[in-house]
Amino acid sequence: MKVLGFMTGTSLDGVDMAMLETDGEDQVVFGPWAELPMPAETRSLLEATIRAALNWPRGEAEPAIFDEARRAIVECHFRSASDFLTRNDLNFSDFDVLGVHGQTVLHERPKNGVKGRTVQLFDGQAFADLTGVPVVCDFRQADIEAGGEAAPLMPVYHQALVENAGLDLPLVVINLGGVANITAISDKGLMAMDTGPANGLMDQWMRLHGRGDFDHEGRIAASGRVHENIVAQYMSHAFFRASAPKSLDRYDFTLQAIGGLDFEDGLATLSAFTLQSLLAGIDLTGIKPKTVVLAGGGRHNRHLVDQIKTALAPAAVRLAEDLSWRGDALEAEGFAYMAVRSLKGLPISFPGTTGVRAPLTGGRISYPKASRQSLAG
């Protein structure tokens, strides 16, 4: 099937789109991809929506702003996709299905026997009607309802890429997004978890000081002094005492602990915290990887990458591009892949990746009102 996948991360910087031709199993053929910036007004609306979500009590009706945000996100996706298709001489009719992650505004992991909550805002029916193509979205909700963490979901796609590349096991794929997560692949199967903040806190610190959206190549962090006592304070968080699998919201950690530091020292300390939390997560997997693959925006942070290489030696630490993977397109590709798996009823989450009791499919399918024909044929 030909699929267009979409991903909008918690950084709110843009819409990632990637074309994939896949059977949701062994076949993975790359098509064009792109990232288009999110309009400033949409970003401002989503920032307000996230604030409302973080203050939303359980059991109460969802904040009214959610519906406004859904409409804005659908419009943003439609404009971005139309631009992308025009640039690549494609049409919506060229695709069998669209796989859309939606915008995460809230994620709470299960705790003390209480199911978690996760919200990825989107309107799959509205998007299907606009595009004339079936849409799969809301990939995480079934896992949450089954008592799982609902994150990370990318491991099933990581596994397909690793198998196609014929890489030696054991292996760890590290995604350095707003939150860092890992996929450990060994002869025992898949294991995955969020490990802690990656770019999220560092980017917040940059914006707080009016120094841009990110630390280019980690140069500022490399110039600062690490305050080990603050790293230890961060690492004392209850999350790090929890067993795997486990998940995080980008806002589970704050900048409060580094509030009194100089700008450079703050970045250096946050970078060290990212590294220590990442190493703690890899230790939890119980494997010694032969190869480590870095994906996500943080792989451009040379300072952090150098720290990871030193800490994980003698493992070979490779960037996604070293394997001809597309590091910035990986998540959009992953949701394209999972859209096909959803259509086929194949699992996208597993006991070792989200803590769900048995492998579980997910995703809500919306068909265009104009043609309700099934894809089964």
- Rounded Cα–Cα distance for residues 8 and 45 (Å): 14
Residue 31 annotated as binding?
A: no
- DSSP three-state, residue 109: coil
What separation, in Å, do the N-terminal and C-terminal C-alpha atoms of the chain show? 12
Residue 310 annotated as binding?
A: no
Residues 6+ apart with CB under 8 A from 216: none
Q: Which residues pair with 239 in a beta bridge?
A: none
Residue 10 annotated as binding?
A: yes
Residue 169 annotated as binding?
A: no
Are 19 and 2 contacting, i.e. CB atoms less than 8 angstroms apart?
yes
Residues 6+ apart with CB under 8 A from 232: none
Nearest 5°: CA angle at 72, between 200 and 39? 60
The burial class, CB within 10 Å (0-12 / 13-18 / 19+), for 223 is middle
Residue 13 annotated as binding?
A: yes
Residues 6+ apart with CB under 8 A from 301: 176, 199, 215, 217, 218, 221, 271
The residue among 119, 350, 139 whose CA lies nearest residue 244 is 350
Residue 296 annotated as binding?
A: no
Q: Which residues pair with 364 in a beta bridge?
A: 137
For the chain, where are the alpha helices, taking DSSP H only? 40-54, 65-87, 124-131, 141-145, 155-165, 199-208, 219-223, 228-235, 263-285, 302-312, 330-344, 351-354
Q: Helix 155-165 to helix 330-344 angle, to the nearest 10 degrees?
A: 100
The answer to whether the peptide bond before residue 368 is cis (omega within 30 degrees of 0) is: no
Residue with tokens 């299905």: 97
Are 133 and 92 contacting, i.e. CB atoms less than 8 angstroms apart?
yes
Are 181 and 194 contacting, i.e. CB atoms less than 8 angstroms apart?
yes
- Rounded Cα–Cα distance for residues 242 and 115 (Å): 16
- Rounded Cα–Cα distance for residues 282 and 289 (Å): 9
* Residues of each annotated binding site: 9-16
* Residues of each annotated binding site for ATP: 9-16
